[in-house]
Structure 1
C-alpha cells in the first residue's frame, strides 16, 4: 500500500473496516490545503490518514475537517475515532499498529456496530432556590441568622450552603436520570467531573433506540427541571467507549 504523497508525518483520524474507511477519502484533510485523506490498509482494517507537516493547531478549519472525516465514517459503519492531533511518524508505524492490535480493533468495531455515543450533562438550577429553602430547615435557619447578624463571613457561609444545597439536589436528580436512561443504552461511561456540573455521562445507544432515548431525556428534563438542567449532545464518535490501548498508532 503506497504512503500518502510527500508524507513527512501522518495525521491519524480513525481506524475502521476498509470498506467503511473508503467513505472518508473525499473529505477535506487537516492541515495543508493540498493534503488528501487516504487509507493505510492491513488485513481488512484501515487507518484513515493524511500527510501533515508539524503538529496542527486546533483551528476551526482543522477541527471541522477532523469531525467531517469522523462523520463520514460513522455514517457508513463503526469507527474507532482518534482525538484531534494524533500524529504518527510514518506509514510503517501505523501499519505495524494495525497488525499488532488487529484482534482488539476488530472486537471494538464489532462492539460499536450499530451504535453511537450520546453525551448528557447536567447542572444545578439557581432558580430552584425557593424550593431548596422550603425543603431544608437548616438552610432556612442559617438564612434567618444571617439576616439578624449580617456580615461578610455570614454571607459567605450562607452562599456556600446554598450552592452546596443546589448541587446536592442536582446530583440526586442526576442519579435518578442515569438510572432511568441506563436500560436504553448498551453501555454507560461516566465522564470527568466538570466545575459547576452535577452530571457528565456518555451513553452508547443503539441506532434503533435513539428516538426513544431522546424522548426519555426530554421527559426527564421536564420532570426534574427544578433540580437539574440537562443538555444532550449527539450522536457523537464513540470516544468514551474506545480504550486508548485498543487504538494504537505508534505516535
Structure 2
C-alpha cells in the first residue's frame, strides 16, 4: 500500500469543524474502501473530498486501464465505491465522484477540489436535502400458447399463418398496454419529484431478469418527502396491471449531479 495514490469517492461541504462534515465521518468510521483502506476527508476551499490510499499495482494509470477490463474486479470496486458514497450520504448532502477517479497524493485531491470548486458548490446547493429513488417496472412475457388438440395435419398452412399473425398482434398489444402503464407510473411519480430522469432499460444479462424491462427511472425527492414517495410507489404497484414495480433507495443523487457533473481529475492528477 502506498500513500502516493488517493482514490476519491465523494465531495461534501467543509463545515469548518475540526473534522470536515463530522456526522458524515462518524458514519464512515470503520468503513473500508475499494482497496480495504480507511476513508477520510481532505479539506480545501470550503469543501472536503472523501478519499483513501490505494495501491499503485492496481490503480496507477496503466494498471487501472487493464483492471477495468476485468468485470469481476470492476464489480467489486463499483460496490465498494457505492457503499462509501451511500453511507456518507445517509445524513448529509454528497456529490458522488466518478468511479475510479484517482489522484496523486493529497495535493492532487486539493487540486481536484480547486479545479471543480464552482461546479461542486453549485451541485451541493442544488441537491441539499434531496435524495434519489429508483423505480424499475417489469412486464412478464405472455404465457406460451397451449398446443392445439387438433392433429397437425388438420391445420392448413393458411390457418397456421393466420394463427401466428394473431399471436403476434396479441403480444404487441400486450406490450403496448404495459408500456402505457409504465408511462403512467412515471408521469405520476415525476409529479412528486423535483426532477426525474429516464435511463435505458438494463441489460437482462446484467440484471438477471427474464421479464421485459419497460421502465428504469430515477427521481430526485426531498428527504422529508421520501415516505410519501415510497407509499405512492406501493399504491401504483397494486394498481398497475401486468407490471411489477421495484423501488430502490434512498441513494445519494447519482443521476442528478449533471449538468454540474462531479467527474474530478483522472489518474495522475
TM-score range, shorter chain: 0.7 to 0.9
TM-score (ref. length: structure 2) = 0.73
- Residues 98 and 262 in structure 2, CA contact (< 8 A), matched pair in contact too: no
The answer for the alignment partner of 1:204 in structure 2 is: 220
The answer for the alignment partner of 1:112 in structure 2 is: 127
Task: List gaps (5 residues or longer) in structure 2.
Answer: 15-19, 60-66, 68-72, 146-154, 204-211
- Residues 198 and 216 in structure 2, CA contact (< 8 A), matched pair in contact too: yes
The answer for the alignment partner of 1:142 in structure 2 is: none
User: What SS does structure 2 have at the residue aligned with 1:243?
Assistant: coil
The 1:149/1:78 distance shift into structure 2, 3 A limit, reads same
- Residues 122 and 260 in structure 2, CA contact (< 8 A), matched pair in contact too: no
The answer for the alignment partner of 2:95 in structure 1 is: 80
- Residues 47 and 98 in structure 1, CA contact (< 8 A), matched pair in contact too: yes
The 1:83/1:150 distance shift into structure 2, 3 A limit, reads farther
Deviating 4+ runs (over 6 angstroms): 145-148
- Residues 131 and 251 in structure 2, CA contact (< 8 A), matched pair in contact too: yes
Q: Deviations over 1:147-204 (max 9, x none)?
A: 96226x974x556544432321111111211221122111111112335321111001
User: What SS does structure 1 have at the residue aligned with 2:121?
Assistant: helix
Task: List gaps (5 residues or longer) in structure 1.
Answer: 131-144
The answer for the alignment partner of 2:190 in structure 1 is: 182
The 1:37/1:224 distance shift into structure 2, 3 A limit, reads same
The 1:190/1:32 distance shift into structure 2, 3 A limit, reads closer
TM-score (ref. length: structure 1) = 0.77
The 1:78/1:99 distance shift into structure 2, 3 A limit, reads same
The answer for the alignment partner of 2:47 in structure 1 is: 45
Aligned-residue offset at 1:66: 2.7
The 1:215/1:247 distance shift into structure 2, 3 A limit, reads same
Distance in 1 (CA, whole Å) between partners of 2:144 and 2:247 is 24
> How many matched pairs?
228
Which of 3, 17, 22 in structure 1 is aligned with 2:25?
22
- Residues 142 and 171 in structure 2, CA contact (< 8 A), matched pair in contact too: no
